[in-house]
Every structure is written in C-alpha cells, then in structure tokens.
Amino acid sequence: MLSLISLIAGIIGVIGSPVVFIPLVGGVLQLFVPAAAIVLGFLGRSKEPAAKGMWLTGLILGFVGVGIALLSFLLWGMLFSIGSGYGYGY
C-alpha cells in the first residue's frame, strides 16, 4: 500500500510541476508531494520488498520533483536579484 501511494505521489509531483511558475510559493508547494513520495518510497522499500517497481518509481519521481522545486527556487532567486537592478537611472 505504501509503495502504491509513493508511486501515485511521485506521478502527481511530476505532472503538477507547472505550479513552480508561481513565484516562490510554487516551489514550496512543489516540495510537499514529491517529499511524501520519497518518504513513502523508503518506507515501502523496507516494508514491501515485493513491490519493488512501485516504490522505486515513486522514489525516482519524488527525487525528480524535489529537483524541479529546488531548480525553481534557484531560478526565481536569480530572476528577482537581477530584475531589481533595472529601471533606476542612478
């Protein structure tokens, strides 16, 4: 059961990744579901070794989702730091 939920959370985390286009808030929202996929994947690995395909896919998709969220933090931070210097003629 944990492996199946990890798989579903990983899929939702990757499919729902366009939420990162919302500045900063989207990155935070993107962290929750993939983090749950990672935690449930590791729990499924220890409790349900027969469902290897499901928990492994949940782990991989969870790490991809977390990577997307961290990349969005980096890109939004760079955009805000670069964008604040324009428009002033000092």
The pLDDT tens digits of the residues spanning 28-38 come to: 888 999 999 99
| Residue 22 DSSP symbol | S
Write down the pTM of the prediction: 0.85
Burial of 60 by CB count in 10 Å (0-12 exposed, 13-18 middle, 19+ buried)? middle
26 pLDDT tier (thresholds 50, 70, 90): confident
Q: Which two tokens stand for residue 42?
A: 């590791």
80 pLDDT tier (thresholds 50, 70, 90): confident
Q: Which two tokens stand for residue 30?
A: 């993107």
